[in-house]
Amino acid sequence: MDCLKSWPEPIVRVQSLSDSGIQVLPERYVKRPADRPSSLDLPTGEINIPVIDLQKLYSDDNSIGETTLNLISDACRHWGFFQVVNHGVSHELMTRTREVWRAFFHLPIEDKQVYANTPATYEGYGSRLGVQKGATLDWSDYFFLNYLPQSMRDQNKWPSLPPSCRKLVAEYNEELVKLCGRLMKVFSINLGLGEDNLQQALGGEEMGATLRANFYPKCPQPDLTLGLSSHSDPGAVTLLLPDENVSGLQVRRGHDWITVKPVPNAFIVNIGDQIQVVSNAIYKSVEHRVIVNSMKERVSIAFFYNPKDDIIIEPSKELITEDRPALYPPMTYKEYRIQIRIKGPSGKSQIESLTSQR
Ligand code: OGA
Ligand code: NI
């Protein structure tokens, strides 16, 4: 894929644009009217995605709280997005990880440029997703890194500054892999599969994991743009650590966009495209996007738990019936991802194009 070797245009750091004090949003960031945030978007807090306490999942050794399972089942079927509290990850670790990334983005530009990324792997410091020349860009910078499989992990590609960054990120990722494993068991049970089936279908012990720290600088005309365009996450499960003080994530619900109000010390959990495939669309990955504002910058950390690259992923045999035939063709995650690397965020068009082929 030649087009994935380098960016089609010189990269401009959104943070530098923001810091330069411009009052007018550059043309490249101006979205089509239909894609802009709307005054009709439901205000923060009016409706929120479900908040689920995981305490009961852990309280007894073997008996998993039935109610908690049901709450998660409802959230997966009807929302595709929920927040979890009492999830077992140290709040202090969460705060330190968020703040180390905030500090990274506030380093001098030279320190960050060392990690400038390319579309071949996306690993490193980046300012765009997708390689389509002339595309409208999103108002954000990010740092993307590989954690699993171990063979893809190269800590030299992770920020060496602040000095605690690499160690903290490794510790944080280790905890989040565990939490994803627990959630996958719950999803598997709730789908009526054996508790390990879902994970097995996605690569078992060899599942992948990546981390993307997102930085949304202050924006001179936030009504005209987005921090991250509408997309669904391509992998299995995402755990998002939002900025507690600044909301920005919007989740699609029918024709509405709901602005998520982060609950203190919670993770935002969402279903990715590959669980939609394995569950044969009993669970759906849900579109989301990020709005920005002129008053406050925002930092968020997205942890993506992904299928093994080269196993064939298809709807689980147990979830295919005469009434509900397999909705998706078998495909590896590697094949699926290439399209996304070329196109960048594009709503749910990627997974929907698979169904319409049939
Ligand atoms: C993502 C994402 C949301 C946010 O990184 O895929 O959806 O609030 N991030 O930054
Ligand atoms: Ni996302």
Q: What is the pLDDT of residues 245-299, one digit of tens each?
A: 899 999 999 888 999 999 999 999 999 999 999 999 999 999 999 999 999 999 9
Give residue 251 CA to ligand 1 midpoint distance, Å. Answer: 10
Lowest model confidence (mean pLDDT) among 40-44, 95-99, 165-169: 40-44
Q: Looking at ligand 1, which atom is closest to the CA of residue 242?
A: 8
| DSSP bridge partners of 208 | 306
**Would you state the pLDDT for residue 59?**
66
Give residue 129 CA to ligand 1 midpoint distance, Å. Answer: 12
**Would you state the pLDDT for residue 255?**
87
Give residue 69 CA to ligand 1 midpoint distance, Å. Answer: 25
Give residue 206 CA to ligand 1 midpoint distance, Å. Answer: 24
Percent pLDDT > 90 in the chain is: 85
DSSP 159-208: ---STTHHHHHHHHHHHHHHHHHHHHHHHHHHTTS-TTHHHHHTTGGG-E
Give residue 231 CA to ligand 2 midpoint distance, Å. Answer: 6
| Phi and psi based region of residue 329 (left: phi greater than 0; alpha: psi -120 to 50; beta: remaining) | beta
**Would you state the pLDDT for residue 136?**
97
**Mean of the pLDDT values across residues 225-250?**
96
Does residue 66 carry a pLDDT above 90? no
**Mean of the pLDDT values across residues 177-197?**
97
Cβ neighbors of 101 (< 8 A, separation 6 or more) are 143, 165, 213, 215, 299, 301
Does residue 234 carry a pLDDT above 70? yes
Q: Which ligand is nearest to the CA of 122?
A: 1
Q: Which ligand is nearest to the CA of 271?
A: 2
Residue nearest atom 9 of ligand 1, based on CA coordinates: 302
The rounded distance, in Å, linking the Cα atoms of 128 and 176 is 26
Q: Which ligand is nearest to the CA of 227?
A: 1
From 146, 184, 157, select the one nearest 303 (Cα to Cα): 146
Is 100 within 8 Å of 165 (Cβ atoms)?
A: yes
Does residue 63 carry a pLDDT above 60? no
Q: Looking at ligand 1, which atom is closest to the CA of residue 270?
A: 7
Query: How many Å is the maximal CA-CA distance in the chain?
Result: 60
The rounded distance, in Å, linking the Cα atoms of 151 and 263 is 35
Does residue 167 carry a pLDDT above 50? yes
Q: Which of 216, 240, 250 to mutate to test the pocket of ligand 1 (most atoms within 8 A of CB)?
A: 240
Give residue 306 CA to ligand 2 midpoint distance, Å. Answer: 13
Is 166 within 8 Å of 159 (Cβ atoms)?
A: yes
Is 44 within 8 Å of 259 (Cβ atoms)?
A: yes
Give residue 77 CA to ligand 2 midpoint distance, Å. Answer: 18
Higher pLDDT, 354 or 236: 236
Lowest model confidence (mean pLDDT) among 290-299, 310-319, 321-330, 336-345: 336-345
Within 13 A of 315's CA, how many CA atoms are on the CB side?
A: 20
Neighbouring residues of the ion ligand 2, judged by CB less than 5 Å: 233
Q: Which of 238, 258, 267 to mutate to test the pocket of ligand 1 (most atoms within 8 A of CB)?
A: 238
Q: Which ligand is nearest to the CA of 249?
A: 1
The rounded distance, in Å, linking the Cα atoms of 157 and 154 is 6
Higher pLDDT, 36 or 346: 36
**Mean of the pLDDT values across residues 76-104?**
98
**Would you state the pLDDT for residue 298?**
98
**Would you state the pLDDT for residue 355?**
77
* The two three-digit tokens of residue 283, written as one number: 């669970």
pLDDT tier at 342, thresholds 50, 70, 90: confident
Residue nearest atom 1 of ligand 1, based on CA coordinates: 302
From 163, 175, 152, 26, select the one nearest 93 (Cα to Cα): 175
Q: What residues are in contact with ligand 1 under a 6 Å CB criterion?
A: 212, 214, 228, 233, 240, 242, 248-249, 288, 290, 300, 302
Give residue 288 CA to ligand 2 midpoint distance, Å. Answer: 6
Lowest model confidence (mean pLDDT) among 61-70, 275-284, 318-327, 338-347: 61-70
Q: Which residue has the tokens 């990850």?
A: 89
Give residue 144 CA to ligand 1 midpoint distance, Å. Answer: 12
* The two three-digit tokens of residue 1, written as one number: 């894929």
**Would you state the pLDDT for residue 358?**
46
Q: Looking at ligand 1, which atom is closest to the CA of residue 304?
A: 6
* The two three-digit tokens of residue 239, written as one number: 């755990």
Q: How far is CA 343 from CA 29, 84, 101, 130, 279, in A?
A: 16, 31, 27, 5, 25
Is 106 within 8 Å of 70 (Cβ atoms)?
A: no
- Centre a 10 Å sphere on the Cβ of residue 113 and count the other Cβ atoms it contains: 12
**Would you state the pLDDT for residue 139?**
98
Q: What is the pLDDT of residues 11-58, one digit of tens each?
A: 999 999 999 999 999 999 999 999 999 866 666 557 889 999 999 887
Q: Which of 252, 290, 304 to mutate to test the pocket of ligand 1 (most atoms within 8 A of CB)?
A: 290
Q: How far is CA 102 from CA 56, 93, 164, 211, 299, in A?
A: 33, 14, 13, 15, 6
**Would you state the pLDDT for residue 94?**
98
**Would you state the pLDDT for residue 41?**
65
Q: How far is CA 186 from CA 13, 174, 198, in A?
A: 40, 19, 10
Q: Which of 142, 288, 340 to mutate to test the pocket of ligand 1 (most atoms within 8 A of CB)?
A: 288
- Domains, in order of start, for the chain: 2-355 (2.60.120.330)
From 218, 236, 235, select the one nearest 227 (Cα to Cα): 218
Residue nearest atom 5 of ligand 1, based on CA coordinates: 302
**Mean of the pLDDT values across residues 70-90?**
97
**Mean of the pLDDT values across residues 53-82?**
84
